[in-house]
Amino acid sequence: MTSLSDLPIRDDLRGKTPYGAPQKVVPVALNVNENTHPVPEDVAADIVARVAKAIGGVNRYPDREFTELRESLANYLGHGLAPENLWAANGSNEVIQQILQAFGGPGRSLLGFAPTYSMYPLLAAGAGTGYLAGRRDDDFELSPETAAAEIKRLDPDIVILCAPNNPTGTPLSIETIAAAYDAARGMVVVDEAYAEFMPEDAPSALTLLPGRPRLLVSRTMSKAFAFAGARVGYLAADPAAVDALRLVRLPYHLSALTQAAAVAALAHSDEMLAMVGEIRDQRDRLVVELAELGYKPHRSGSNFVLFGGVDDPNAVFEALLAQGVLIRDVGIPGHLRVTAGTEAETTAFLTALASLGRPDKARTSASVAGSGAADSVTVSSQS
């Protein structure tokens, strides 16, 4: 049988593996930062009705400028944004991919601040763009001084800032974003995938857009909107930057059905976001109770918590999996990450973790409990 290594793929892709978290059927899945609350029934009914109406026209290509969706996004975001400031694609990963296709490419570079979202270097590689890893301050923080110094030291063509940062959950100050923009000579992308989980009085990078044509603010409907399966990401930027993305987008890249579903969800934004407060409560509960269990949770402005003090992350991961709880090993030594779920899901995780004992005893307990983990779940596809 032919293997990947037998095919004439690009040299810079050899040895790489596709992005993808384990996809396992378990009672409590808290590994990929989804909103675990279902879409409200009345909202789902409206979405279905609008998609059904759109079906009647699928013999024709969709509105390639997704005019109604851009108007809905502008109304949702506010900040004086107009439809021409908005762009959308099939998830924020595609938005970032289009940015790299337009402003990156061979001989150009993207700077991220490690550890950060693991898709950034993969997206950069796919666009033939070099990836640079800048350093952070202690406890995964990023100060204005450090951000500016790293940008000047590495001189990238594009800077990407994850705010709050994934996988650490670390909030990013508006001062750091402004300092990064002032220090950069090229485009600055702020990935605000988890922005809705920040405190309500925390300023968004959207407030910095006026007068900054090299700034792009990326968002998603996957997280706070509980719309991960619909695949809708978007950005706000100067109209000229939006025009640049038109040069690289595929024709009619956003289907009529996706547009209809997203417009319907945005029409119910208040109801769709009603569960955000509960998710914040469960996140804060995780921070408090993980510390009480003897772990070291990090500051989080997102819908997940990274916690340290884990002697053997793989053993603890497997032991929790054996109890039907799936979290994420993000590859940071001594750490694991857990999504804030419903109150019942959060309780199930904390109970399972407590059953392993204190962190200094959890390795032995986890090793024993994890021995049967492989038989306790059904594995579906893995991307």
pLDDT of residue 360: 65
- Coil, helix or strand at residue 97: helix
Residue 11 lies in a domain: no
pLDDT surpasses 50 at 381: no
198 in the same domain as 52: yes
Residue 8 lies in a domain: no
Which are the contacts of 215, defined by CB distance < 8 A and separation ≥ 6?
Answer: 181, 187, 188, 190, 205, 208, 209, 237, 238
**Span 255-270, average pLDDT:** 96
Distance CA 199, CA 202 (A): 5
pLDDT of residue 81: 98
353 in the same domain as 210: no
Distance CA 164, CA 172 (A): 6
- Binned at pLDDT 50, 70 and 90, residue 379 comes out as very low
Which of 221, 250, 270 is the last residue in one of the domains? 270
Burial 208-239 (b: 16+ CB within 10 A, else e): bbeebebbbbbbbbbbbbbbbebbbbbbbbbe
Residue 204 lies in a domain: yes
Distance CA 41, CA 126 (A): 39
What average pLDDT is seen over the chain?
Answer: 92
**Span 237-243, average pLDDT:** 98
C-alpha to C-alpha distances, 131 to 91, 100, 218, 277, nearest whole angstrom:
21, 11, 19, 36
45 in the same domain as 162: yes
Which of 226, 254, 270 is the last residue in one of the domains? 270
Tokens of 363: 């390795």
- Coil, helix or strand at residue 376: coil
Question: Do residues 316 and 295 lie in contact, with contact meaning Cβ atoms separated by under 8 Å?
Answer: no
- Binned at pLDDT 50, 70 and 90, residue 4 comes out as confident
pLDDT of residue 234: 98
72 in the same domain as 30: no
- Coil, helix or strand at residue 263: helix
pLDDT surpasses 60 at 374: no
Distance CA 307, CA 295 (A): 6
pLDDT of residue 15: 80
Segment (H or E) for 216: strand 215-220
Question: Do residues 304 and 337 lie in contact, with contact meaning Cβ atoms separated by under 8 Å?
Answer: yes
pLDDT of residue 368: 42
Tokens of 174: 């508006």
Question: Which residue, among 48, 203, 183, has the nearest Cα to 113 in the 3D structure?
Answer: 183
Which residue segment(s) compose the domain that 27 sits in?
Answer: 21-37+275-374
**Span 237-259, average pLDDT:** 97
175 in the same domain as 52: yes
Q: For position 47, which CATH number holds?
A: 3.40.640.10
Residue 147 lies in a domain: yes
Q: For position 302, which CATH number holds?
A: 3.90.1150.10
pLDDT surpasses 60 at 309: yes
Candidate ranges 216-220, 274-278, 379-383; pick with highest mean pLDDT: 216-220
348 in the same domain as 248: no
29 in the same domain as 103: no
pLDDT surpasses 90 at 79: yes
pLDDT surpasses 60 at 380: no
56 in the same domain as 28: no
233 in the same domain as 283: no
The contacts found for 351-355 with CB under 8 angstroms, 24 or more apart, are 352/319, 352/320, 352/323, 352/324, 352/325, 353/290, 353/293, 353/316, 353/320, 354/293, 355/323
224 in the same domain as 111: yes
Residue 9 lies in a domain: no
**Span 104-130, average pLDDT:** 96
pLDDT surpasses 50 at 228: yes
Beta-bridge mates of residue 133 = 112
Give the CA count within 13 Å in the CB-facing half-sphere of 132: 20
Distance CA 245, CA 100 (A): 9
Residue 316 lies in a domain: yes
Chain segment 23-74, per-residue pLDDT in tens: 778 999 999 999 999 999 999 999 999 999 999 999 999 999 999 999 999 9
288 in the same domain as 254: no
Enter the pTM of the model. 0.91
User: Pseudo-torsion of CA 314, 170, 21, 227, nearest 10°?
Assistant: 140
Distance CA 226, CA 230 (A): 9
Distance CA 313, CA 336 (A): 6
Please state the domain count of the chain.
Answer: 2
Residue 120 lies in a domain: yes
Which of 253, 270, 287 is the last residue in one of the domains? 270
pLDDT surpasses 70 at 361: no
312 in the same domain as 205: no
Per DSSP, the chain holds a count of helices (H) and strands (E) of 13, 14
pLDDT surpasses 50 at 378: no
Question: Do residues 301 and 261 lie in contact, with contact meaning Cβ atoms separated by under 8 Å?
Answer: no
Question: Which residue, among 126, 250, 96, has the nearest Cα to 188 in the 3D structure?
Answer: 96
Angle at 211 between CA 206 and CA 216, to 5 degrees: 45
Beta carbons within 10 angstroms of residue 370's beta carbon: 22
User: Pseudo-torsion of CA 357, 306, 119, 326, nearest 10°?
Assistant: 40
Is the N-terminal amide bond of 115 cis, ω within 30° of 0?
Answer: yes
Residue 258 lies in a domain: yes
